[in-house]
Structure 1
Amino acid sequence: MRPQLAPAFRALLREGAEQSDAAGEADREALSALRASGLLATAVPAAHGGAGGDATAVNAVVEQIAAVNPSVAIIAFQHFAVSARIAERGTPHQQTRWLPPLADGTWLAASAWSENGAGADKQNLSTTAERRADGAWLLNGSKAFTTGAGVADLYLVLTRTARPAAATAGGYGAAGQTFFLVGADNPGVRPELGLELAGMRGSATGLLTLDGAIVPDTDRLGPRDEAALIIAGVRESGASLGAVAVGTAQAAFDLAVAHARARGLMDRPAVRHRLVGLATRLEAARAVVERAGARTSADPGLTTLHSKLHATEAAEEICLDVARILGSAGYRDGARIGRLLADARGISLMGPTNDLCRDLVAASWTG
């Protein structure tokens, strides 16, 4: 059964989308409602107070949120991703400490992997983690395009802990990299916003500076120098950014239907057939995302990559077609279809970017 957002929550998300897009910052009221909604428990095991949902459940929840507010959906997606990594790779102590507050919305999680100059494949990191004599780690560097910067309570930070090896063609991440769970209250953590993105303007995507952040070894996630194994497992999970794209495309399609009904155009076969064509492309994108979440294919990781590629490209095409259908009604400054089109384009640039997805798919053919 597909999730249905509470009407009051849906209305708040829609209002927040308009305000945050205009201001270029996250809507705190909408995020507070997300924390209280119970949805953040989706990817947390029931043993730790969560809903025990799999990738299918995660994709469905993300799509429903994205159909109203894509920026909040991408924040939720990152929260689910970090929650799942702790559930899969965390120590019993880490799971007991972090999963319950991530489930009940006390804490919101975000990923901090990307860096300027590191490349989409995350193989040239400059952010370092150095082991101190007391066993703790000293983190220094700057992470770029961190979704949820300044609103998250916990960051999953990708660092370099060994001398970088030669880049691996077709890879994502490299040997000598390690993940750390870093609280937003760490004195060495400083979020910075103001990137002025064209799309996903309410996603609080910005920089995260690590300036002498001291992190105990107990907050290291997974083995030292083997973050690439965890990164590879993310694709295998079936949770797909394509779900954000499908929700965004659904919002655009709903605009087209409402426009046709309001102007009495539904009795025209050409209009109906054009809308059916959009609906068919939307259902195809939804189907490939659902297949990724179900993990029923011979190569679930490859299906997840395909789902992001197909869904994001379909979403951008659907949004553009809807803009053409709306004509002058969608050409006004601040028109919702313009925001949705920019959001759809933004999803293709989120990691792994669509170009990197293509490289990873092509690498699977050559081994």
Structure 2
Amino acid sequence: MTAFSLEPAQLAWCAELRTLAAERLRPLADKGEPGRVNRALVAELGSLGLLGRLFTSGALDLCLMRESLAYACTEAETALALQGLGAHPVHAYGTREQRARWLPRVADGTAIAAFALSEPGAGSDAAALELRAEPEARTEPEARTEPEARAEPESPRSEGPPAAPALAAAPDGPARWRLTGGKCWISNAPEADFYTVFARTTPGAGARGVTAFLVPADRPGLTGRGLDMLSPHPIGALDFDAVPVTSDDVLGEADRGFRVAMGTLNLFRPSVGAFAVGMAQAALDATLAHTAGRDAFGGKLKDLQAVAHQVAEMALRTEAARLMVHAAASAYDADAPEVPRRSAMAKLLATETAQYVVDAAVQLHGAGALQRGHLLEHLYREVRAPRIYEGASEVQRGVIAKELYARQEAR
């Protein structure tokens, strides 16, 4: 298989997913409350086995799932994607105990996951995050009564400036921190059951001083509130008031959480592009049907050269975006060295393309496309956010340029 064609079995699977989305997921999505987690929809994704595939499929399969679901039910696509985004760090970097506790519940749709990276002052510049993971001061151990213990001399105390507090831990026990600060624009907050949280464990170290933590929603000191956003799914802010975490909650290694974040985003950025392609294809197909059937100026809309050329441009850009998404996903599955560049290119092209295609579709449909409940009115609201989240378009251009110049300098 190449990045430029799909096997018949893959094409059949995509068609099956579109049918499932239309017949079983769309009705549940319609019953959901805007701005709230639709747990019935998530549970149905679990019962269909789609959430479980998040942890067994490669990047290309993830893209095929997201495009197919987005074509017929963007709410189902987003619910699936958010489960994957929040839980992938646990799957890829978690301990055996963390995976055993949470992944089965994510897969069956009974636990809602969230990815908590962005902050009010650290959105696109993720390395600038300020949520603090402050180490607890080590407590003095109880006095030992064995003769050997009494015979040991005390350690001398420094008369200089006090050292940074050591991480609190009983002998052979976990290190302990307190999370203090906030997160903002977090999808599924404040209703998620657990969060993958990125916090600064080493001040002044940039990306090198960030640690990823798995934080259950019921931890003391963790509160949240919903934000009134242009979004059908919940987006909220989280407040951390000395929330306790230990080394048992760390995902990966302390101070290396930026690798967890970027590893997750490199996987999901092409699939954000796939989500966008699914919306673009839905808008294109609606436009083909509308322009072929609408009477205008003594013929059909499609007979007007300006309209036909516009539709051709929409189709051209959609297919180009799809091919780039598939190429980026295939590069990820092959563990190719150019994954960050390809992922950035795929997300950038696909999300910008979808914005263009949906806008053009609205223009060709006219005022009716802006009525509440119309497919294009829905897509017009949905298509804007992907150009911002998981790295805005400007950030993707920066990633691409950085990778290009790095490759040029290495020659």
Distance 2:235 2:330 in 1: 29
Among 127, 133, 139, the residue aligned to 2:179: 139
Corresponding residue for residue 180 of structure 1: 213
SS in 1 for 2:17: coil
Structure 2 match to 1:89: 93
After the TM superposition, which residues 138-287 of structure 1 pair with which residues of structure 2 at under 5 Å, given as runs?
138-165=178-205, 174-193=207-226, 195-198=227-230, 201-237=231-267, 240=270, 241-263=272-294, 265=300, 268=303, 270=305, 271-272=307-308, 274-287=310-323
Q: Does the 8 Å CA contact 2:269/2:390 hold for their aligned counterparts?
A: no
State which drifts further: 6-15 or 327-336.
Answer: 6-15
Letter in 1 for 2:190: G
1:39 aligns with 2:39: no
For the 8 Å contact 1:82–1:110, the answer to whether it is kept is yes
Compare 32-41 and 278-287 and name the one that shifted more: 32-41
Deviation of residue 287 (structure 1)?
A: 1.0
- Bigger drift between 155-164 and 256-265 goes to 256-265
1:14 maps to amino acid: R
Name the CA shift for 1:341/1:16 in 2 (closer, same or farther; >3 Å): farther
Alpha-carbon separation, structure 1, partners of 2:135 and 2:219 = 17
Cα offsets for 1:129-177 (capped at 9, x unmatched)? 1233243332222111111113422210011111123x5xxxxxx1111
Instruction: State whether residues 125 and 159 of structure 1, in contact with CA within 8 Å, keep that contact through their aligned partners in structure 2.
Output: yes
Native 8 Å contact 1:20 1:202 kept in 2: no
Instruction: Give the secondary structure class of the aligned counterpart of 1:322.
Output: helix
In the TM superposition, residue 311 of structure 1 has moved relative to its aligned partner by: 0.1
Q: What's 1:47 paired with? A: none
After superposition, the Cα gap between the structure-2 partners of 1:138 and 1:97, relative to the gap in structure 1 and judged at 3 Å, is same
The equivalent of 2:130 in structure 1 is 126
Distance 1:144 1:100 in 2: 27
Relative distance call for 1:108 and 1:53 in structure 2 (3 A) is: same
**Of residues 387, 390, 399 in structure 2, which corresponds to 1:351?**
390
Q: Is the 8 A contact 2:42 2:79 kept in 1?
A: no
Q: 1:85 Cα deviation (Å)?
A: 2.3
- The 1-side partners of 2:28 and 2:190 are apart by 17
Pairwise mapping of residues 22-37 of structure 1 onto structure 2 (< 5 A)? 23-37=34-48
Equivalent residue letter for 2:282 = A
Q: What TM-score, normalized to structure 2?
A: 0.77
Gaps of 5+ in 2: 1-9, 137-167, 170-174, 407-411
Q: CA deviation at 1:97?
A: 2.6
Alpha-carbon separation, structure 1, partners of 2:247 and 2:314: 51
Partner of 2:149: none
Find the aligned partners of 1:220 and 1:116 in 2 and give their Cα distance: 23
**Cα distance per residue 1:241-266 (max 9 Å; x no partner):** 11121122122123213323443637
After TM superposition, which residue ranges in structure 1, 4 or more long, deviate above 6 angstroms? none
Distance in 2 separating the partners of 1:329 and 1:343: 18
- CA-based RMSD: 2.5
Give the aligned residue type for 1:66.
A
Larger Rg: 2
Gaps of 5+ in 1: 45-51, 168-173
Of the structure 1 ranges 254-263 and 240-249, higher mean CA displacement relative to structure 2 is found in: 254-263
Deviation of 1:207 after TM superposition, in Å, equals 1.1
Question: TM-score normalized by structure 1?
Answer: 0.85
Q: Which residue is equivalent to 2:340? A: 301
Shift of 1:34: 2.6
> Within 1, Cα distance between the matches of 2:178 and 2:133?
5
Specify which of 5, 22, 25 is matched with residue 17 of structure 2.
Answer: 5
Give the number of equivalent residue pairs.
349
Instruction: Give how far 1:333 is off.
Output: 4.6
Residue 35 of structure 1 deviates from its aligned partner by 3.4
Contact 2:59 2:330 in 1 (8 A): yes
Percent of aligned pairs with the same amino acid: 30
